[in-house]
Amino acid sequence: MYRLLLVIFVSLGFVCVHAQERDTLRVDTVAAPQVALQDSLNKAQQDTVRQETRKERKERERAEKEREKYFYKGIQKDSTRLEIERLSRVAWRRSTFVPGWGQYTNQGLWWIKVPIIYGGFVTSYLVFDYWQWYYKKFLNELDYRISNAGTKSDPDLFGFDNMEGLVRQKDYARRNRDLTILVTVGWWGLNVVEAYVDSMLKNRWDIGEGMSFKISPTLMPTYGAASSSFMYGYNVTPGVKLTMSLK
């Protein structure tokens, strides 16, 4: 009897273990396609991100920059703010292409600023032309003396007996000529900066009505060696006083 019960319990245990193994295999078999499908989706998503073309990336970056124009620290700008920023950009960009155009756009004292700007360019051209002539003069004399065994050609340069003096003067003229070009470029840039600053002050910070200037004569005290000159019995000298008032 006991042997029969032992055989029955062993048989039931074997059947349960075998059934559990089949269920585990069945669950694994069912879950495997889902895992494979998820891996395929992840790989497809990675491939999509990785396969973004250069053109698409540039368009996306351009759209992001365009969006930033209409927001400031996450807050959307209103139409007035956008118009003010547009006017500021228009002024300096116009002066970049045509000097004085931005000043004319800002109005105000443009009729004084524009002649000053072009007067600076005319002066730069005259200075450049002078140093170019000076440079060519010494360069031609050097070439002539080298080609003709030191024979002098230009009567204005007969005082230069050695070649080193001619070389120094030639280099001096070339340096000043190149410096004139740099100054001209700086003058052009200053014209752009002035147009931008004037536009900012005019459209964003209106101080025209609250500021006033007054120029008047005055007497200033003198010190040191200048105190030896007396005017009306006092140690003073005439001068000019500039008064600025802010309201």
Query: pLDDT tens-digit profile of 20-61?
Result: 555 444 444 444 555 555 666 566 565 555 567 888 888 888
Q: Which residues, at least 6 apart from 200, have a Cβ–Cβ distance to it below 8 Å?
A: 88
pLDDT score at 50:
57
Report domain extents, the chain. Answer: 2-46, 84-206, 209-247
Q: Cα–Cα distance between 102 and 100 in angstroms, integer? A: 5
Q: Are 95 and 103 in contact (CB under 8 A)?
A: yes
CA atoms within 13 A on the CB side of 87: 19
Query: Widest CA span of the chain, in angstroms?
Result: 148
Q: Are 87 and 199 in contact (CB under 8 A)?
A: yes
Q: Cα–Cα distance between 235 and 223 in angstroms, integer? A: 8
Q: Cα–Cα distance between 221 and 230 in angstroms, integer? A: 10
Report the chain's C-alpha Rg in angstroms. Answer: 43
pLDDT score at 213:
64
Q: Cα–Cα distance between 185 and 131 in angstroms, integer? A: 17
pTM attached to this predicted model = 0.56
State the residue for tokens 């124009």.
69
Q: Cα–Cα distance between 220 and 240 in angstroms, integer? A: 9
| Range of lowest pLDDT (97-106, 133-142, 212-221) | 212-221
